Chain A
Amino acid sequence: MRRPIAPLVALAVLFGASAHAQTNSPARLAAFAKLPDWSGIWEMGRPGPGQVFQAPKAGKLTGGPGRDLNLPYKPAWEARYDARQKEYAALPDTLTPPDPTITVCSWGFPRMELGPANFEFTITPEETMIVFDPSEIRHIYTDGRPHPPNPTPTPQGHSIGHWEGQTLVADTVGLDPDLWLTASGAQLSPKADITERWSMQDQNHISDQVTIVDPIAFTKPLTFTRKFRRVTDTKHQIMQNCFENDREQMKGGYIETIYSDPSEGSSQ
C-alpha cells in the first residue's frame, strides 16, 4: 500500500518549501516520502544461530570469527589461509599479526559489519551514508551513478544501491584486497563483489543480508545475515581516531606493542 504523495507535497509547500529556492524541492520531498527513516545509532545485536559472529577462538588470534565464517575457499586460497594460521601461531608473545585495523587503521567492508562498532544511518534520495564510530564511512549512492570502470581499491569499496520498497539493495566492488575479512587474516580477492539487502524489522532492529561473490577465491557465494539493534542510551555518536595514542610499531612485518612502562603488559 503506497501512501499518497500529493498531500505531503502540499504540506511541504504549506510549510514553505517553495518560499526559498534553497529548501528541498517538492520533487526531493516526494522522494523522501518513499524512503524509510533509519536515523539513529545502531550496534551489533546478539548473535544467533546461523549468524557469522560466534565465540572467538582461543589463542593468539583473538576477537575474530576465523573459521567460523566457513569461507568457501578454493584449495589454493585454503592453503594460503592455513599457512598464515601456522605462521601467526608461531609468533613470539611480543609480536602480533599485522591486522590492518592497526597497521592502516582500516576495518573496511564487510569486516566492519562483523565487529562491535556502532554506526549511524543517514538516508537521502541521492545516497545512504553509514558512519561507523572508528571514523570509517560508507557511501552507498542511490542517484543512479554506475560503478567506476576501474575503481581505486579502498577499505569500503565503491557502493551503489537502489530501493526495493523499503529494502536497500547495495552492490559493492573495488575493495582493497590487502584488508582482512576476519581477525584471523582471511582475505578476499580484488574481484570480490558484495551484494547487500538492508531492511528494518521493527523500530529497534535492522538487518543486512550479505552475499559475497568472489570468483577468484571462492567456490560458491557466501551468504550471511547480520542483525543490529538501535542504541537507545545516547543520541550523539562519538568518533574515534585510531591514529591517536599510537602504541604499536611494525617489526619484521608484524606488530610490536610499545609499552611506556617496561613492567606494563609485556610478558618478556
Chain B
Amino acid sequence: MTPLRKSLAAALLAATLPAQAALNSPQRLASLAQLPDWTGIWQVEGSTATLDPNGPPPYNAAWAIKYAKAKAEAPRLLDTYDRYCAAGVPRLMGSPEYFEAMVTPEETTMVFSQREVRHIYTDGSPHTEADELWPMYWGDSIGHWKGDTLTIDTISILGKEWLDPTAATLTDKAHIIERVRMTDHDHLQDQITVIDPDALTKPWSFTRTYRRSARINMTDSPCSWGIGTATKVTR
C-alpha cells in the first residue's frame, strides 16, 4: 500500500469509526442469538372473567371475609381497570388486551393495546432501590433468561387494583414470579406464581396462554377511546 493510500485508508477508518460504534456490537448480537423471537401480537386464551381461570386467590381467613364483602359490592362500583385506565400487573396477563412483545438483551417489553407497558429489565440490574420505589400499576420487574424461558420477578405492585371484575385484590407486598416461554410458534405461556403472605395461605400458581394474533397496527389510544381500535394491515 502506498503512503497516500495508507493515509486515505486511515482517514476513511477514522471517519467511519464513530458511526460503526453505534451499530449493534458483536457482544449484543451474540446475546440476541441466544434469545427467542417473540415478535408479534399476542392475546390471552380462555376466560378473562378471573385472573386465574380456576377461581379466586387462596385467601387467608381475614382476606376471604374482605373479598366476600368486596365481591358483593363490586357490581355497584366502578372497576379500577376502568377508573384508572389500567389493568396493571398481574391483571394484564389475564386481560383481553392484546400485547406486542419485543425481546432485546437488555429488556423484554410488553406493550398492551391500551397504553400499558411492562418493562422487564434483563440487563442484570437489581430491583429499583427501596427508597425510590412506591406501589405502581405495573410494579418493578426484572428478569433473566434460562434457555428459552424468561423468568420475571415483580415487586411493588399496586395491591388495591382489582385483579378481576369480582374485586379480588392483593397487598402492595405481593411478589410475583412468572416463567414465560413460547410453547410453539403461535403460543406463549406464562406460569404465574403470586406470593403474598399477608393475604394468601400459600403461593397462588396458575398458567395463562396467549395465541399469536394477526399482524395488526398497534394504535396508541387511551382506554377512554374504547377497546379494540387497532386496524388491520391491508396487505
Residues on A lying within 8 angstroms of B by beta carbon are: 1, 3, 8, 11-13, 15-17, 20-25, 28-29, 32-39, 104-106, 120, 122, 124, 126-127, 129, 131, 135-139, 141, 145-146, 148-149, 151-152, 154-156, 158, 165-166, 200, 202-203, 235-239, 241-244
How many pairs of A and B residues are in contact by the CB < 8 Å rule? Answer: 177
Question: Nearest Cβ distance between residue B2 and chain A, in whole angstroms?
Answer: 20
Assess whether A238 is in contact with B29, with CB atoms less than 8 Å apart: no
Roughly how many angstroms separate A155 CA and B229 CA in the complex, as a whole number?
12
If A36-B22, A139-B217, A166-B23 are given as contacts, then 19 extra A-B residue pairs at C-beta distance below 8 Å, sorted by A number, are A1-B16, A20-B148, A22-B185, A23-B34, A32-B29, A34-B23, A35-B24, A37-B22, A37-B23, A120-B109, A120-B119, A127-B102, A129-B111, A135-B115, A136-B115, A137-B117, A137-B218, A165-B19, A243-B83
Check B36–A152 contact: CB distance below 8 A.
no
* B22-40 interface code vs A (CB 8 A; 1 in, 0 out): 1111101110111111010
Can you name 16 A-B residue pairings with CB atoms under 8 Å?
A: A16-B34, A17-B34, A20-B147, A23-B148, A24-B33, A33-B24, A105-B222, A124-B39, A131-B109, A135-B116, A138-B220, A139-B220, A154-B229, A203-B21, A241-B86, A244-B86
A163 to chain B, nearest CB (A): 11
Interface size of B by CB at 8 A reads 64
Residues on the B chain within 8 Å of A203, using CB: 21-22
Chain B residues close to A by CB (< 8 Å): 12-13, 16, 18-26, 28-30, 32-37, 39, 83-86, 100, 102, 104, 106-107, 109, 111, 115-117, 119, 121, 123, 125, 128, 136-138, 140, 147-148, 182, 185, 215, 217-222, 224-225, 229, 231-235
Shortest distance from the beta carbon of B80 to any chain A beta carbon, whole Å = 10
CB pair B34–A202 under 8 Å, yes or no, is no
Are A24 and B26 within 8 A (Cβ)? no
> Nearest Cβ in chain B — how far from A180, in angstroms?
15
B24 contacts A15, C-beta separation under 8 Å: no
Distance of A138 Cα from B125 Cα, bound (Å): 26
Q: Which of B33, B218, B229 interacts with A16 by CB under 8 Å?
A: B33
Q: Contact: B32 with A29, CB < 8 Å?
A: yes
Q: What distance in Å separates the Cβ of B115 from its nearest Cβ neighbour in chain A? A: 5
Query: Which listed residue (B23, B104, B106, B221) contacts A154, Cβ 8 A?
Result: B221
Bound CA–CA A34/B28 (angstroms)? 12
Chain A residues with CB below 8 A from B148, complex form: 20, 22-23
Q: CB-CB < 8 A to A8: which residues of B?
A: 26, 29
Residues on A with beta carbons closer than 8 Å to the beta carbon of B147: 20
In angstroms, Cα B19 to Cα A200, docked, is: 8
Interface SS majority for chain A: loop
Across the interface, do A24 and B36 meet the contact criterion of CB distance under 8 Å?
yes
CB-CB under 8 A from A158, the residues of chain B are 217, 219
Contact of B111 (CB < 8 Å), options: A23, A137, A141, A148? A137
| A57 nearest CB across to chain B (Å) | 28
Tell me whether A11 and B125 are in contact (CB under 8 A). Answer: no
Write out the residue numbers on chain A whose beta carbons fall within 8 Å of the beta carbon of B117: 131, 135, 137, 239
Flag if A244 contacts B84 (CB, 8 Å).
Answer: yes
Contact for A155 among B23, B35, B220, B234, CB less than 8 A: B220
Residue of A nearest to B86 (CB): A241
Interchain CA distance A131-B222 in the complex, whole Å: 14
- What A residues does B29 contact at CB under 8 A? 8, 11-12, 29, 32-33
CB distance from A142 to the nearest CB of B (A): 12
CA distance A154 to B221 in the complex (A): 6
**Which of B21, B37, B83, B229 contacts A25 (CB under 8 A)?**
B37
Q: Report yes or no: A149 in contact with B234, Cβ–Cβ below 8 A.
A: yes
Alpha-carbon separation in the docked complex, A146 to B235 (Å): 8
- Residues of chain B lying within 8 A (CB to CB) of residue A21: 185
**B185 CB to nearest A CB, Å:** 8
Q: Report B94 CB to chain A, min CB distance, Å.
A: 19
Known: A29-B33, A241-B137. A148 touches B218 (CB 8 A): no
